[in-house]
Structure 1
Amino acid sequence: MKRKALCVALLLLYLLWNWLPLLLCLSVFLHFYFTRNNGYWRKRGVRYLEPAPVIGNLSPLLHVRVSPGQLFADIYNQGEGEPFIGCFIFDKPALVIRDLELIKRIVVKDFEHFHSRYTNTDASVDPVGARNLFVTRGQRWKFFRAHLSPNFTTTKLRAYLPLMSQCAEELTGYLKEVSADTRKPITIRDVMARAATDVITCCTLGIKSNTLRNKNAEFRKYGRKIFGFTTSRAFEILGHFLAPGLVKIGKFNFLQKETTAFFKQVVGEAVEFRKMNNVERGDLLDSLLNLRELVDRKKNIKPDKPNVPEIDVKDEDIVGQSAIFFGAGFETTSITLSFTLYEMAVNPRIQARLREEIASGVKEQGGSLTYEAINGMKYLDMVVSETLRKYPPLLHLDRVCHKDYKLPESEVTIEKGTPVFIPVFGIHRDSQYYPDPLRYDPERFTEDNKVSRPQFAYMPFGHGPHNCIGMRFGLLSTKVLLVNVLSRFEVLPCEDTPRPVELSPFALFLSSVGGIPLVFKNIGSEMLAV
């Protein structure tokens, strides 16, 4: 036995002696490879955060202490006094922009240098997810953006209003059943997500999803999967947003395969129904179908630039665009609704003032919630704006530099391929622009206060050509649902209502830890004509 142990020990010693130089060389190579960019910002005279090997400045994110948007807000706060601050996304140098005038240049004035998001996916891995407006680039992005934007004109919004109002009536009926007559707290995050799902499916796809009444409805199930942060899904999402170079290697899907299959089925059925019954609703789905017909007639569209492939419209485009409008639409609307109702519950004076304005505005329109009535509610707009300031659904904006860009009034050049991040959450909670930023105060958005504040200090929907295409739709649906709820209920905190709300690190969009329980007290008022 001892002889056998001695032989094993000698063999290990032999292997170690022969492989040690190789192991040392490999260790040195890996060390230099993963730290090769550590001096990148120092050489350029840019203040930066010292990176850790391999993971760069992502430690708080990878340890699930913060979400991606909170991470960039923290970096923003560490760069006080600087127009920008360098950081590292894994081993890749990146820049977090702090100066508002520089942000304006990047997203508007010098858009040609930063015309795409850093977020990306791969069509060979995810042919449907790669064809949505959020990640599409270049001429295809311009083409789809131009042809889908008319879905959100004033005329279209007026047409959507009755459908939104129907969904709002269903929401108030549901709240009365489950909370108002029993004083039982309800978790508003899930309820508002289900209500917003009904709005978005009805208005954009012409589908009555019945998600509010059925918490296990398929649209709710797959809606959770699009941006939900399970452990495995977190790697996919972070790959797309922070390390797009790994997407193809890791076979990451922007839309999971089962989610894609679900949307292929429901969109395909909706398209077939419209064809069979000669139905035209004038919604997003119709726009996509008409766009495909236009392109087919012209045998594809020739871009206005040479050496660029012709633009086609396939089934994957229709499914991909429908899925991303659905996912982003219900998420942002439900987030804004949830946090607004929470703030109304813990700020009863603001709630009472808003309810008075709603009553007055509706009365002027003969008891009907018209488009004019909604637009005339200035305090409602101030309240929603303050919610979007304190709780912006999308916490940061991302861009990638497409050609070397010399920063104005600086010797620094952003090199091609460098990711640039705009920390919306950090700017929205900067006391330089919003004194006592954690206080909820709609007065920040009076006309005088808005004029006195820099424009780019507020950007919950982004700015410039890449701003949120559905911004007006989202605002209108949020306001319609809020008006209906506050017309009939007083929103109250309960024993388990958090003060303040704890923000979750497990989310791409802003989310709370827990669902925020609130009570809805029936006030016996029927301001709105039913």
Structure 2
Amino acid sequence: MLKRSSSLPVKRNQASMSELKTGSTSLFLGARSLIMCTILLFGVCSSYLVTATLLACSATLLFYHIQSKYNYWAVRGVKSPPATPFLGHTLQRLGIKMPFMEFFDDLYFNYNGRDFCGYYDFLQPGLFIGNPEIIKSILVKDFDHFADRRTFDLGKVNPIANDMLSNATGQHWRFIRGVVSPAFTSGKTRRLFPLMNNRAIHLLQLTREEAKKGSVEAHALCGKYTMDSIASCAFGIECDAYSSEAETFPVMAARVMQLSPARALKILVLLVAPKIAEVTQRLGIDFTSPEFHFFRHVVTNTLRLREKWGLRRGDILDMFLESNLNDKNGPSDNIITAQAILFILAGYNNTANTLALTLHLLAHHPDVQAELRREIAAEMERCGGQHIPHDRLVKMPYLDAVVSESLRLYPAAPVIERICTKPCTIAGTSIHLRKGQPVLIPIWSIHRDPQHWPQPTKFVPERFLGESKDSITPYSYLPFSHGPRSCIGIKFSLLSVKIGLVHLLTSMKLLVAKESRHPIALNPRVLTLQPKDGVFINFVPCSFEETLREETMLYPTNSDKDTNNM
């Protein structure tokens, strides 16, 4: 009994030792697993930590590198507003972040832009210049250093675009300018006068029809007139005629200026990855729009028919044909087509804007309207009551002053951009520009600077008469730019506006419509000063003689006005 009882604890101790060993082994294994998991977790965390640290350091270094780019002007002692990382001032300049007019005015008045200041196009430093003397140097004296505009090489996907005068560069631009310029001299523009006069008569007819319905949206009306003038003078087409081309032309011309999603995508590809555009073009995706093909077909066919049958209309196509006859190195069909399409892109909207906004200003300033109508009456009397001929119309001082003042307030080109084509030190400064750097000239801000224009927001045509005109600071008035790269169609555009005004004012009174607001609201997202909500005017048919008598009683003549208190 005793032996049995004494053996029990031994067995129990052995079992306990076995359990202890088993427990210790389990504990050891558990601890080892925990340690291994801890090491593994630490390794993983360390990997993420190292990666995160490297990314943070890289981002920090990149940020400071970008910021160092935006110190370009500061280290040169030139003022510039704070820049957005990576974007610089691109969104402001394009009117995306804020109205571009406000951005220009901010640079001009708050950052020494009245003289010059800096800005950034993404990471590229550019110079913003408001000093008239420096502007003269950029546009004229040192033109060879600033001969190009910002352009994109589209030769592989749309050769016509590269032949446009506005998009051509270097020697190619010089060649095109040389063969195109003769078609836009004063003498050649005089030849277009009968065609333009016919379109102005059609404008008056359209206005009478529209006026019967109430107030007229003048911007759309002027757009039709401008399109008629361009179609007739540049393409040899009368848009109110009954032919397939005449019916199709306004539709295709409108489409040229429409930015569909597909066209926006093509433009993006052209700008960001032109090589991809070339490949896709070879695969059958045409980057030349159907509208360009249409205009090339119209111009080519018209030229061939005129050469074959000797037909002449006295329009721009005839002038190009004469250039080919006189010079075997004259413009090719592509160059002629390119300039005709450029007429639409550059001339249509700008001319329509100028005419519509001038009508708006006249409606809101009946005294100016009365003075202009008196000048028209005096000229008509000198011409025996007939329509005013070209040579007299272009010399009418008050008509010219009215249009000039309208263009001061609403310039056709609110900003001029040039690209430095070879290194240059800006005249009168220590600022050195490298090849490829852009230069902006803020016409909008300069035209509204009280240092150059007393009471700059007021519509005062007398600024452009007599001694007041003689005292204008040179290069402070640039509605169509200046120098060799200025607008080649300026005479055509001004003549179109003046003819339209004369025809309307001889048969219509311009009154303020209830929908009209003054000053007029402009679209902040469009770089051509396009009216935001339309231009509404009441056109009231009137007797020219009776209106003159009424206005003589209501408003003083120009000679009675005090123009020294502007």
Same fold (TM over 0.5): yes
Cα separation, partners in 2 of 1:34 and 1:223, compared to 1, 3 Å: farther
1:101 paired with 2:127, answer no
Conserved 8 A contact 1:399-1:419: yes
Cα separation, partners in 2 of 1:222 and 1:430, compared to 1, 3 Å: farther
1:458 aligned partner, one-letter code? Y
Cα separation, partners in 2 of 1:61 and 1:173, compared to 1, 3 Å: same
1:45 aligned partner, one-letter code? G
Could you tell me which runs of 5 or more consecutive residues in structure 1 were left unpaired when the two chains were aligned.
Answer: 1-8, 299-311
Q: Indicate the SS of the match to 2:457.
A: coil
Cα separation, partners in 2 of 1:149 and 1:195, compared to 1, 3 Å: same
Deviation of 1:262 after TM superposition, in Å, equals 2.6
- Among 171, 191, 196, which residue is 2:221 paired with? 191
Deviations 1:393-439 (A, max 9, x none): 21111111122211233222112211001111110111111122111
Deviation of 1:513 after TM superposition, in Å, equals 0.5
1:507 paired with 2:526, answer yes
2:397 aligned partner, one-letter code? K
1:487-498 equivalences under 5 Å are 487-498=506-517
Give the match for residue 90 of structure 1: 122
Conserved 8 A contact 1:56-1:88: yes
Aligned-pair RMSD on alpha carbons?
Answer: 3.3
1:441 aligned partner, one-letter code? V
Conserved 8 A contact 2:408-2:447: yes
1:390 paired with 2:416, answer no
1:348 aligned partner, one-letter code? P
Deviations 1:273-318 (A, max 9, x none): 32343223453323445556777x46xxxxxxxxxxxxx9544322
Cα separation, partners in 2 of 1:265 and 1:235, compared to 1, 3 Å: same
Deviates more, 1:219-228 or 1:270-279: 219-228
Q: Indicate the SS of the match to 1:75.
A: helix
Give the match for residue 374 of structure 2: 356
CA distance in 2 between partners of 1:197 and 1:12 (Å): 69
CA distance in 2 between partners of 1:23 and 1:67 (Å): 37
Deviation of 1:92 after TM superposition, in Å, equals 0.9
Give the match for residue 467 of structure 1: 486
1:212-361 equivalences under 5 Å are 218-228=248-258, 246=272, 248=274, 257-289=289-321, 291=323, 297=328, 314-361=332-379
CA distance in 2 between partners of 1:449 and 1:230 (Å): 47
- Among 126, 136, 147, which residue is 1:115 paired with? 147
Conserved 8 A contact 2:80-2:118: yes
Q: Indicate the SS of the match to 1:457.
A: coil
Conserved 8 A contact 2:165-2:177: yes
Deviates more, 1:22-31 or 1:392-401: 22-31
1:496 aligned partner, one-letter code? E
Aligned residues: 496
Deviates more, 1:323-332 or 1:220-229: 220-229
TM-score, normalisation: structure 1: 0.85
CA distance in 2 between partners of 1:153 and 1:221 (Å): 30
CA distance in 1 between partners of 2:98 and 2:164 (Å): 27
Give the match for residue 53 of structure 1: 85
Conserved 8 A contact 2:151-2:168: no
- Among 372, 387, 406, which residue is 2:425 paired with? 406
Deviation of 1:443 after TM superposition, in Å, equals 0.9
CA distance in 2 between partners of 1:524 and 1:12 (Å): 92
1:449 paired with 2:481, answer no
- Among 151, 161, 171, which residue is 1:129 paired with? 161
Cα separation, partners in 2 of 1:136 and 1:287, compared to 1, 3 Å: farther
CA distance in 2 between partners of 1:149 and 1:259 (Å): 25
Deviation of 1:207 after TM superposition, in Å, equals 1.3
2:517 aligned partner, one-letter code? P
CA distance in 1 between partners of 2:74 and 2:277 (Å): 35
CA distance in 1 between partners of 2:94 and 2:181 (Å): 37
Conserved 8 A contact 1:289-1:318: no
Cα separation, partners in 2 of 1:460 and 1:286, compared to 1, 3 Å: same
Could you tell me which runs of 5 or more consecutive residues in structure 2 were left unpaired when the two chains were aligned.
Answer: 1-40, 282-286, 547-566
- Among 155, 158, 170, which residue is 2:187 paired with? 155
CA distance in 1 between partners of 2:473 and 2:92 (Å): 31
Q: Indicate the SS of the match to 2:456.
A: coil
Conserved 8 A contact 1:73-1:424: no
Q: Indicate the SS of the match to 2:544.
A: coil
Deviations 1:372-405 (A, max 9, x none): 3303421101000000000002111111112221
Give the match for residue 4 of structure 1: none
Conserved 8 A contact 1:404-1:413: yes
Give the match for residue 142 of structure 1: 174
CA distance in 1 between partners of 2:101 and 2:324 (Å): 36
CA distance in 2 between partners of 1:231 and 1:74 (Å): 33
2:342 aligned partner, one-letter code? I
Deviation of 1:36 after TM superposition, in Å, equals 4.4
Conserved 8 A contact 1:188-1:518: yes
Deviation of 1:521 after TM superposition, in Å, equals 0.2
Q: Which has the higher contact order (CA 8 A, sep 6+)?
A: 1
1:285 aligned partner, one-letter code? L
1:91 aligned partner, one-letter code? L
* Max Rg structure: 2
Q: Indicate the SS of the match to 2:381.
A: helix
Cα separation, partners in 2 of 1:321 and 1:414, compared to 1, 3 Å: same
Give the match for residue 304 of structure 1: none
Deviation of 1:193 after TM superposition, in Å, equals 0.8
Give the match for residue 203 of structure 1: 233
Give the match for residue 13 of structure 2: none
Cα separation, partners in 2 of 1:10 and 1:322, compared to 1, 3 Å: farther
Cα separation, partners in 2 of 1:158 and 1:411, compared to 1, 3 Å: closer
1:41 paired with 2:73, answer yes
CA distance in 2 between partners of 1:429 and 1:371 (Å): 32
CA distance in 2 between partners of 1:19 and 1:210 (Å): 70
Cα separation, partners in 2 of 1:176 and 1:351, compared to 1, 3 Å: same
1:372 paired with 2:398, answer no
Conserved 8 A contact 1:201-1:209: yes
Q: Indicate the SS of the match to 2:371.
A: helix
